Amino acid sequence: MGRNLQILILGAGFAGVATARGLEHALRADEAEITVVGRDNFSLFTPMLPEVSAGGLETRHVVTPVRAQLRRSRYVLGDVIAVDLAARAVDVQHSITGATQTLTYDHLVLALGSVTSTFGIPGVADHALPLKTLEDAERLRNRVIASLELADVTRDPVERARLLTYVIVGGGYTGAEGAGELIDLFHSITPYYRSIAPRDVRIVLIEAGPVLLAGLPVGMGNYTKKNLLSRGIELHLGDAVTSLDDRAICLASGAMIPTATVLWSAGVRPTPVLRDLPLQHARNGGIIVGRDFAVPDRPGVWALGDCAWIPMKTPGEWYPMTAQHAIREGPALARNIAAVLHGQATKPFDFTALGTMASLGARSGVASLANGLVISGFPAWFLWRTYYLSRLPGFDRKVRVALDWLLGLIFRRDIAELRVYTQRSSERAARDAGLDPASDLPARTSID
Ligand SMILES: Cc1cc2nc3c(=O)[nH]c(=O)nc-3n(C[C@H](O)[C@H](O)[C@H](O)COP(=O)(O)OP(=O)(O)OC[C@H]3O[C@@H](n4cnc5c(N)ncnc54)[C@H](O)[C@@H]3O)c2cc1C
């Protein structure tokens, strides 16, 4: 019996899983073997990540096991470390064992998403906190709690002010939603810290461009600005970050803001493993594809989601990098791969966004509907929650998130910071084992 046709999907996020599910639907089991590769055994529902970082949602409730989303595709848990287009082979390092295996393919789907871009600004990679992954959200929450713990016992007013200053860089979705969520978090948890009042906390949002939520309808940016200002957030619009270190952040205007916590949400670039592929790349490194997701001059290679630049019908316009698009692109690509296998023509992707929404915390939000109408405040927030809850994969996840939201109406957010506890217990275990915790464990900084 000959080898089955192999379809290899790299990435188990919105785009990768949607493509696999689409292929399971479009192809018979004996037509092709579908393999998905991802570095985690779950996919992350990013729209709810800002709420996780602010302790509004439990970490595990916003992820869905990949295996639970696939019916007959094979799943390989591992990191893609090399793609050889000439040999039609991909090297994958297993996430648990570290062993490397080579997977070959007839059709390759690149759906590896994006990583945070530091734009080469000095200090960003070392000192800023991104918000892209579950670990990022946990780290941010831990950092915020650690800074409050320290500020609560710090006598020096200058150092105390630095610890209580939180800077967010980037006025897009993530920055605006992150800022709104942070205010909610502080309002909820500062009562635990007797010496800290909510007014002692300074939140600064820096955006290099002149408006918030650039690229979205102007009304959305205007409302977001008004909303954040009214809740005490300091806005620096049209000012770019030039450098930062563990003490302060410096801006092009000459301003210098002492801070211990910088959330970096200024932009993304495709996953590094794709960077050096001999393909046509866009200015941020994304892979330029045709309107049917085909990589030019590479039959059998396709790309979609955040790692791809997909042209719209109007020349010079590209589909935005959003989950809303990625989950529509997946089934469309699956149909195109099936068409090629069945000797038919592929179809260009054509999708009009249903609208855009941002949740700003404090039961307020802003949304632009498909008919161009911008709504704001409670109705937009309610719409955001209803829509994203309905899109969260897995019925059990929906119930868990709904319960988190319900409990959030009753209880304060949690300030238990288990990292301190686990670090201390590893130090104790090291001491019990006769090791020197200071040299055998990673050093602790004043805030980490
Ligand atoms: C905080 C935040 C909030 C957002 N809010 C919204 C929103 O409200 N609405 C919206 O529409 N969009 C939102 N987005 C954007 C949305 O998350 C992305 O557009 C979407 O995730 C793109 O889907 P994707 O499948 O291309 O990439 P991803 O979902 O990122 O999936 C890529 C997958 O590939 C994996 N991967 C990467 N590199 C490797 C490797 N080398 N080996 C193995 N696996 C790898 C990753 O772990 C990931 O699972 C938000 C993004 C963030 C960060």
Residue 270: pLDDT above 60?
A: yes
Q: Is residue 419 part of a domain?
A: no
The range of the structural domain enclosing residue 380 comes to 124-266+354-410
Which stretches of 358-394 are DSSP H helices?
378-391
Residue nearest ligand 1's atom 29 by CA: 13
Q: Are residues 158 and 175 in the same domain?
A: yes
Distance from residue 427's CA to the centre of ligand 1 (Å):
35
Q: Are residues 286 and 307 in the same domain?
A: yes
Residue 373 lies in a domain: yes
Q: Is pLDDT of 83 > 90?
A: yes
Please indicate, yes or no, whether residues 219 and 316 belong to a single structural domain of this protein: no
Q: Is residue 434 part of a domain?
A: no
Ligand 1 centroid to 51 CA: how many Å? 16
Higher-confidence position of 38 and 439: 38
pLDDT tens digits along 139-166: 999 999 999 999 999 999 999 999 999 9
Check pocket membership of 355 for ligand 1, CB cut-off 6 A. Answer: no
324 and 381 assigned to the same domain? no
- Going by pLDDT thresholds of 50, 70 and 90, the confidence category of residue 442 is very low
Residue 433 belongs to a domain: no
CA-to-CA separations, 357 to 114, 120, 363, 380, in angstroms, rounded: 21, 30, 13, 7
**Contact present, 201 and 186 (Cβ < 8 Å):** yes
Q: Is the domain of 203 the same as that of 214?
A: yes
User: Over the stretch 314-368, which tens digit does the pLDDT of each residue have?
Assistant: 999 999 999 999 999 999 999 999 999 999 999 999 998 888 999 998 899 999 9
Other CB atoms within 10 Å distance of the CB of residue 343: 6
Residue 276 lies in a domain: yes
Residue 143 maps to which CATH number? 3.50.50.100
The reply to whether 104 and 49 lie within a common domain is yes
Between CA 336 and CA 26 the distance in angstroms is 10
d(CA 313, CA 316): 9
Would you state the pLDDT for residue 445? 44
Look at residue 60 and tell me if it is in a domain: yes
443 falls within a domain: no
pLDDT of residue 416: 77
Where does the pLDDT of residue 396 fall: very low under 50, low under 70, confident under 90, or very high at 90 and above? very high
Give me the pLDDT at residue 231, please.
95
In the chain, what percentage of residues exceed pLDDT 90?
A: 83
The pair of three-digit structure tokens given for residue 90, joined into one six-digit string:
């991909």
CATH number at residue 104: 3.50.50.60
Mean pLDDT computed over every residue of the chain: 92
Same domain, 140 and 232: yes
Is the CB of 80 within 6 Å of ligand 1? yes
448 confidence band (pLDDT: 50, 70, 90): low
Please report the pLDDT score of residue 439 as a whole number. 53
pLDDT digits (tens, 9 = 90+) for 234-255: 999 999 999 999 999 999 999 9
* Cα torsion angle, 235, 236, 242, 246, sign: negative
Both 128 and 253 in a single domain? yes
User: Mind listing the pLDDT tens digit for each residue in 175-225?
Assistant: 999 999 999 999 999 999 999 998 999 999 999 999 999 988 999 999 999
The answer to the question of residue 418 being in a domain is no
pLDDT score of 227 more than 60: yes
pLDDT score at 198: 87
Residue nearest to atom 7 of ligand 1 (CA): 47
Q: What is the pLDDT of residue 163?
A: 97
- The 10s digit of each residue's pLDDT in 369-381 is 988 899 999 999 9
Total domains in the chain come to 2
State in Å: Cα 47 to ligand 1 middle.
Answer: 10
How many A from CA of 259 to the centre of ligand 1?
Answer: 29
For the stretch 264-295, what's the b/e string if a residue is b when 16 or more beta carbons lie within 10 angstroms of its beta carbon?
bbbbbbbbebbeebebebeeebbbbbbbbbbb
105 and 132 part of one domain:
no
Residue 414: per-residue pLDDT: 79
Same domain, 260 and 171: yes
- State whether 405 and 280 are in the same domain: no
Give the range among 128-132, 283-287, 303-307, 416-420 with minimum mean pLDDT. Answer: 416-420
Which of 289, 306, 359 to probe ligand 1 with, by most ligand atoms within 8 A of CB?
306
Closest CA to ligand 1's atom 19? 322
Residues 163 and 284 in one domain: no
Pairing between strand 355-361 and 364-369?
Answer: antiparallel
Percent of the chain with pLDDT over 70: 94
The predicted structure's pLDDT at residue 422: 62
